[in-house]
Amino acid sequence: MHKKGTFVQLINAAAIGGRMLETRKDHDLPQSKVAALLHISDRGYKNYETGKREIPLSVALAFCERFGISFSWLVTGTDCLHPDDVGVAVGELVSEIFAESSKRGLQLTPTQAGKIGAYIFKTCHTNRTSPNQEVAAVFELMGED
């Protein structure tokens, strides 16, 4: 039983709105154009993007489909990768790690490569960055004294 005036907020409307803003800007579109694509009012879209109102499921799904983003990322800020995508990402990551270590004249043990790979994979997944961005940064840190 909940006390009067208390509630559990399961979804952070402002965070979802921020991800909608990020997506819209990535596509270089004004709010009015996105609203038209979703068949909603300009004001309604603005309220979702600013977090003033919670977005209905139907609009959130339409937004994800229209912009090719995952529903999981829109709602939580993290993606659930498809198994095929995981395989490609791991292959790219391993290649980047060994290319960078070779370039720097470093010999990595399998354990070291595994630890570096696990850290970078998690970072790429969380930050939505590519392995080549993260690998270079990690090796820069490793090279500092």
- Reported as a single tens digit per residue, the pLDDT across 43-57 is 999 999 999 998 999
Residue 8 has pLDDT above 50, yes or no: no
Distance CA 36, CA 30 (A): 10
To the question of pTM greater than 0.85 for the whole model, the response is no
Q: So what's the pLDDT on residue 82?
A: 59
CB under 8 Å, gap of 24 or more: what pairs does 122-125 form?
Answer: 124/89, 124/93, 125/78, 125/79, 125/81
Distance CA 113, CA 62 (A): 40
Cβ count within 10 A of residue 137: 13
Distance CA 49, CA 62 (A): 14
pLDDT in tens, 65-90: 999 888 888 888 876 655 667 778 78
Q: So what's the pLDDT on residue 4?
A: 47
